[in-house]
Structure 1
Amino acid sequence: MDFDFALVLVIAVAVTGVGYVADALFFAKKRQRAVSAFLNQPQRSAMDVEVINQLEKEPLWVEYSRSFFPVLFLVLIVRSFVVEPFQIPSGSMLPTLKIGDFILVNKFSYGLRLPVSNNLVVEIDDPERGDVMVFRYPKDDKVNYIKRVIGLPGDRLRYENKVLYINGEPAAQTFVAALPAGNPNRKLLRESLSDVEHEIYNSLQPGQNMREVVVPEGHYFVMGDNRDHSNDSRYWGFVPESHIVGKAFAVWMHWEGWSSLPSFSSVRVIQ
């Protein structure tokens, strides 16, 4: 079963919130009444302070609710509506994003969405061509994918001989280098999408062409920058607007795995 962190977080906030409110409205007052009743007793002893402390003592569930609710609530708000971190698990976005990059995703660029249900509640902006976008995989909405937005609603797209055609016009490509050294079957290119310039990898081996498609309303066509090694819209179709998570805007850390130390030397804005 896939781990749904957003759902777990919402449940944790709800449980601790109910505990926090229930104590404030009922149980704290009950403890105060018990202390008042004790203090009104005619006979007092040297044990009064210890008894009062015992009567005022919060149950363990109240301590946990009071401690964790504000923190969990803040995390929920920030993660759901402001920014969320992700880790890049594959090389489909090379050379832009490397395996092990930790990225930040702007959650309000494309509108505010409710956690778990992902329903849009406040419209802000729509994805633009060239954006690096995180979305829920249409074939399994519990899995997050990251790709570059290539086609907007209404666009006509085709991919032929490693060249992308948008509304009949080829996307400009400029050869940069054969990379990496010792691997002559891959080349680095600079591609232009509207006002966005970014780098892509293309294999020198023949690739699969894609016949012209039209992006439906409310959907987007996405591709990986590692064009010959990306599972994207060419193979499984369009991304519905309802599956959008947010816009990736920065790399804040790189960590290849437990055998290495995290590195902050690759901090950069995502283009």
Structure 2
Amino acid sequence: MIDSYAGSGDVAVAIAGARAGADVVRRMYGQRLNHIDKGAGDFATAADVAAEKTILGIISAARPDDAVLGEEGGHQGAAEAVRQWLVDPLCGTLNYAVGNMLVAVNVALRDGAAAVADPFSGEVFFTDGEIAWVRRDGAYDVQLTPTPATRLVDVNLDPPFPSAPGFRAVDLLAHPEFIERFRPRFVSTTLALAWVAAGKRAAYITDGHDLSRSVHFAAGIALCRDAGCVVTGIDGAPIGETGRGLVVAADHETHGLLMSMMHSRS
């Protein structure tokens, strides 16, 4: 069922998909779920698969001509489709599998609307491609306002580390200025990106390749951009197909400080 939203259109589809996926994830939480091995230590659970199936059903019903790239099912729809949705039905599978509630459901139209749902807080963070909001308890919407006030910086320490030894996130944590100015956090899910947009984190840092087109990161990046965050690669360049990593900060001062520390460690 598509959400009622003043902007309607694609953002309503993104919200509906994320909320429906979150409902599945929350309902299956705590059950004994089979692990589906994906190699290199990665795995999915039955909750990942069920949530993605539910999300894809909503997208296909509302946008039958669009293609979808799902974390579990891969590419679906016509190869020549002009539009593509990126779906990560359960970001933080390892957290979820061990009973940790720090997970997210990510739905994004490439270069368009996006939504990130927190299955356990009931929050849905979303953007129509211009302005980012959060919907709490399905009742009201508040525009997202990033701020560095918390001084909390979420750092992704999960392998692989394609930019090592030139850049390693763990080195940043030992930088004297980082210790003085910030406090690290390790959520291990891209829910942390939504928290930067919402002012719950000052920044988020991760390594990786072409993250703007990743099912894991696309929705969170869209939220942060439209909320007014500073979004670059770990080298300070715009993120894109040739970009490396991701640095998202609530403001230019925080971004500049982090980039200075990262470059001095290199």
TM-score when normalising by structure 2 = 0.23
Tell me: higher relative CO, structure 1 or 2? Use CA pairs within 8 A at least 6 residues apart: 1
Structure showing the higher helix proportion among its residues: 2
Larger Rg: 1
Q: Give the TM-score of the pair, scaled to structure 1.
A: 0.22
Q: Which has the higher strand share?
A: 1
